[in-house]
Amino acid sequence: MQDDPILFSLTVDKLEMKATEGSNPIEWDAEAWVGRDLNKLFFKTEGEYREEKIENAEIQALYSRAITSNWDFQIGGRKDSYQEPGKPDRNWLAFGFYGVAPYGFDVDAAFFLGEDGRTSLRFKTEYEILLTQKLVLTPELEMNFFGKDDSATQTGSGLSETAMGIRLRYEIIREFAPYIGLDWTRLWGKSADYAKEEGGDYDNIRFVTGIRFWF
pLDDT value of residue 20? 79
Predicted pLDDT at 85: 83
Please indicate, yes or no, if residue 69 is contained in any of the structural domains: yes
139 vs 125: CA distance, rounded Å: 9
2 band by pLDDT with thresholds 50, 70 and 90: low
**Mean pLDDT on 118-134:** 98
Query: How many CB atoms neighbour CB 35 within 10 A?
Result: 18
Mean pLDDT rounded to a whole number for the chain: 95
- CA 30 – CA 131 distance, rounded (Å): 24
pLDDT level of residue 148 (50, 70, 90 thresholds): very high
CA distances from 207 to 25, 26, 56, 168 (A): 12, 12, 20, 12
Distance from C-alpha of 142 to C-alpha of 121, rounded to nearest angstrom: 11
Residue-wise pLDDT tens digits, 196-209: 998 888 999 999 99
114 versus 19: the higher-pLDDT residue is 114
Q: What region, left, alpha or beta, does residue 158 occupy, with left being phi > 0 and alpha being psi -120 to 50 degrees?
A: left
Range of the domain at 79: 7-214
Is residue 62 assigned to a domain? yes
Q: Identify the band that residue 23 occupies on the pLDDT scale cut at 50, 70 and 90.
A: confident
How far, in Å, CA of 178 to CA of 169, rounded? 6
Looking at the domain assignment, is residue 2 inside a domain?
no
Give the mean pLDDT of 157-178.
98
Mean pLDDT along residues 80-89: 91
Q: What is the pLDDT of residue 14?
A: 97
CATH number at residue 135: 2.40.160.40
Give pLDDT, residue 21. 72
Confidence band, pLDDT 50/70/90 cuts, at residue 3 = confident
User: Please, which pLDDT band fits residue 123 given cuts at 50, 70 and 90?
Assistant: very high
% of the chain residues with pLDDT over 90: 90
46 — pLDDT class (breaks 50, 70, 90): very high
Q: For 42-46, what is the mean pLDDT?
A: 98
How far is Cα 43 from Cα 20, in angstroms, rounded to an integer? 29
Q: What is the pLDDT of residue 19?
A: 87
Asked if the structure places residue 1 within a domain, the reply is no
Number of folded domains in the chain? 1
